[in-house]
Amino acid sequence: MTVHACLSRRHVLGGAVAFGACGPLLVACGADEDPPAEVPDAGTQLAGTSEVPVGGGVILKNQNVVLTQPTKGEFKAFEATCTHAGCTVTSVSTTITCSCHGSQFELADGSVTHGPATAALPAVKITVDGTSILTA
Ligand code: FES
């Protein structure tokens, strides 16, 4: 049965996927991921400003939010669900990375810098109140 699903998927992809690579492809897109958390309601405290590194960011998995600070004092927030196939993004350095298939997103606007994702991470409205970052 798995073979039929694999062949069917291979045909859909125009034969580009070798038989041996089909299994891992299906696993990588599998349903083992928990559904993403909902972005919190307005007024919810997300983090302290000191928790978000300049030129980097943090992933708040329980709140499905990525907070970034592209330049000192400039904070941005995005949904943490990758727009490619729905994994939660996995790391933030100079870009936001989803290790499921290698997509990368810009810290400043969530735009795609490396596929396979083609759509930006949706922005989450935030406000900074003193040293607290809250949803807006
Ligand atoms: S789900 Fe495929 S790169 Fe993120």
Residue ranges of domains in the chain, CATH in brackets: 45-135 (2.102.10.10)
Confidence tier at 40 by pLDDT (50, 70, 90): confident
> Ligand 1 within 6 A of 92 CB?
no
Q: What pLDDT does residue 39 have? A: 85
Is pLDDT of 98 > 90?
yes
Q: What is the pTM of this model?
A: 0.76
- The residue whose C-alpha atom lies closest to atom 1 belonging to ligand 1 is 85
As given in the structure block, the two tokens for residue 16 are: 């580009």
Confidence tier at 16 by pLDDT (50, 70, 90): very low
Residue 46's nearest CA partner among 71, 83, 70, 79 is 79
- Mean pLDDT value of segment 24-42: 61
Is pLDDT of 66 > 90?
yes
- Mean pLDDT value of segment 54-77: 97
CA of 46 to the centre of ligand 1 (A): 24
Confidence tier at 111 by pLDDT (50, 70, 90): very high
Which string of DSSP letters, residue by residue, matches 14-35? TT-S-HHHHHHHHHHTSTTSPP
CA distance linking residue 83 with residue 107, whole number of Å? 15
Lowest mean pLDDT among 30-34, 105-109, 122-126, 132-136: 30-34
CA distance linking residue 96 with residue 111, whole number of Å? 10
Mean pLDDT (the chain) is 81
Q: What pLDDT does residue 14 have? A: 36
Residue 80's nearest CA partner among 57, 94, 60 is 60
- Helix, strand, coil content of the chain in percent (nearest 5): 20, 35, 45
CA of 131 to the centre of ligand 1 (A): 32
